[in-house]
Amino acid sequence: MPRAFITGITGQDGQHLAQFLHDKGYDVYGMVKGQSNPRIAALVEEMPFIETIPGDLADLPSLVAALEVSQPDEVYNLGAISFVALSFNQAELTANITGLGVLRMLEAIRMIGGSQNNPIRFYQASSSEMFGKVRETPQNEATPFHPRSPYGCAKVFGHDIVVNYRESYDLFACSGILFNHEGPRRGIEFVTRKVTNAVARIKLGLQHELVLGNLDSKRDWGYAGDYVKAMWMMLQQDQPDDFVIATGETHSIEDLVQRAFAEVGIDNWTDYVRQDPKFFRPAEVDLLIGDATKARTELGWQPEVDFPALVSMMVQNDLEIEAKKAGIAL
Ligand code: GDP
């Protein structure tokens, strides 16, 4: 059985990837951090096949030990301080975990290495936030980076150090430059889930307004379930390389809000939405739209869930969750 080691296993992508790899017959090891982290119990209850290993991206010896225990064929580094807004308040922590954490993981791989015939294959979760103030539209693998947040800056470091270690030490290391990807497992702090959850609660009479920041920025939103497949596909290639993963469509936050309200039959959405400066960011990424031609032609990857289906999936999921919590029959 092939073995995979995943950091960030309690996050959205970690959960999707763990299930995907398990279904493919992998032994799945997940790194978990902290003492009595409440997310671990919930994850293990849902996916009892995951072997958890304690460790922290801030602690190189713990990464080395985790690789020694798991002896993986593939390492997926999905762990990060991943929320852009938080990265402005905790910039040093973000640089340490999201940026330097990649370097530590690469060093741990160099130390443990795998066998000559079967070196460890490494996947780094790079991000469209690296494009930031975009230099061209749409963005592809050759588009220069111009990050707009401490998160984006840390991801650029992570991306560049993967390229450097691949070139310097001949590691099998790939970066997936993933555009925003969402789904029912998305954290409530991200705008898609914040909107779909609020819309569900408003429909059920549990909440009366939705308070947001900038409604004009545009994102290329795909479905996380489609995107973790691309991560795995990258590591099955003969040669390591970097790939943009995106849908090639962009929508504003306003489009998202309108569509989510329409899903529950509410057309006068402006009556429910208020803007508050506290949700605006010191610097914004105005427009993201990815060109995934390389992934399509070289990996044979393409997204299966489009934007309307994604919003519908998320709203329906939140309706079920919130109705159940409140004891309301749908
Ligand atoms: P990001 O692209 O990784 O920053 O993903 P987010 O889902 O956090 O934010 C996407 C966009 O939504 C950004 O341009 C935010 O400024 C915008 N946005 C507007 N209102 C909100 C809000 O209340 N919460 C979040 N998270 N984003 C918001």
CA distance 225 to 301: 12
Nearest residue (by CA) to ligand 1, atom 13, is 217
How much distance in Å is there from the Cα of 329 to the middle of ligand 1? 32
- Check residue 37 and give its pLDDT: 84
The CATH number of the domain covering residues in 188-219+250-288+305-326: 3.90.25.10
- Check residue 311 and give its pLDDT: 98
How much distance in Å is there from the Cα of 225 to the middle of ligand 1? 20
Instruction: Pinpoint the residues of the chain covered by CATH 3.90.25.10.
Output: 188-219+250-288+305-326
pLDDT at residue 136 is higher than 80: yes
CA distance 13 to 186: 9
Q: According to the 3-state scheme, what is the secondary structure of the chain?
A: CCEEEEECCCCHHHHHHHHHHHHCCCEEEEEECCCCCHHHHHHHHHCCCCEEEECCCCCHHHHHHHHHHHCCCEEEECCCCCCHHHHHHCHHHHHHHHHHHHHHHHHHHHHHCECCCCECEEEEEEEHHHCCCCCCCCECCCCCCCCCCHHHHHHHHHHHHHHHHHHHHCCEEEEEEECCEECCCCCCCCHHHHHHHHHHHHHCCCCCCEEECCCCCEECCEEHHHHHHHHHHHHCCCCCCCEEECCCCCEEHHHHHHHHHHHCCCCCHHHCEEECHHHCCCCCCCECCECCHHHHHHHCCCCCCCHHHHHHHHHHHHHHHHHHHHCCCC
Evaluate: CB of 273 within 6 angstroms of ligand 1: no
Evaluate: CB of 84 within 6 angstroms of ligand 1: yes
129 burial via Cβ count (<10 Å: 0-12, 13-18, 19+)? buried
CA distance 32 to 7: 7
- Check residue 36 and give its pLDDT: 81
Which residue is associated with the tokens 């995106």?
Answer: 246
- Say whether 227 is catalytic: no
**Ligand 1 atom, smallest distance to 127 CA:** 3
pLDDT digits (tens, 9 = 90+) for 302-314: 999 999 999 999 9
What percentage of residues in the chain have a pLDDT greater than 90? 96
Around Cβ 295, how many Cβ atoms within 10 Å?
23
- Say whether 51 is catalytic: no
- Check residue 165 and give its pLDDT: 96
Mean pLDDT of 175-193: 98
Residues forming a β-bridge with 141: none
Instruction: Pinpoint the residues of the chain covered by CATH 3.40.50.720.
Output: 3-181+221-245
How much distance in Å is there from the Cα of 224 to the middle of ligand 1? 17
Residue pair 180/245 in contact by the 8 Å Cβ criterion? no
Evaluate: CB of 88 within 6 angstroms of ligand 1: no
- Say whether 151 is catalytic: yes
Nearest residue (by CA) to ligand 1, atom 8, is 190
pLDDT at residue 116 is higher than 70: no
- Check residue 7 and give its pLDDT: 98
- Check residue 152 and give its pLDDT: 98
Mean predicted lDDT score pLDDT of the chain = 97
Exposed e or buried b for every residue in 272-284, given b needs 16+ CB within 10 A? bbeeeeeeeeeeb
Tell me the pTM.
0.97
> Which residue type, as a one-letter code, is found at position 58?
A
pLDDT at residue 115 is higher than 80: no
- Check residue 292 and give its pLDDT: 98
pLDDT digits (tens, 9 = 90+) for 49-78: 999 999 999 999 999 999 999 999 999 999
- Check residue 114 and give its pLDDT: 64
**Ligand 1 atom, smallest distance to 82 CA:** 3
- Check residue 34 and give its pLDDT: 82
Evaluate: CB of 252 within 6 angstroms of ligand 1: no
The CATH number of the domain covering residues in 3-181+221-245: 3.40.50.720
> Which residue type, as a one-letter code, is found at position 171?
L
151, 165, 223, 227: the catalytic one is: 151
Mean pLDDT of 188-215: 98
pLDDT at residue 113 is higher than 90: no
pLDDT digits (tens, 9 = 90+) for 269-301: 999 999 999 999 999 999 999 999 999 999 999
pLDDT at residue 117 is higher than 80: no
233 band by pLDDT with thresholds 50, 70 and 90: very high
Which residue is associated with the tokens 């309108």?
Answer: 258
- Check residue 118 and give its pLDDT: 75
Mean pLDDT of 146-157: 98
pLDDT digits (tens, 9 = 90+) for 23-43: 999 999 999 998 888 889 999
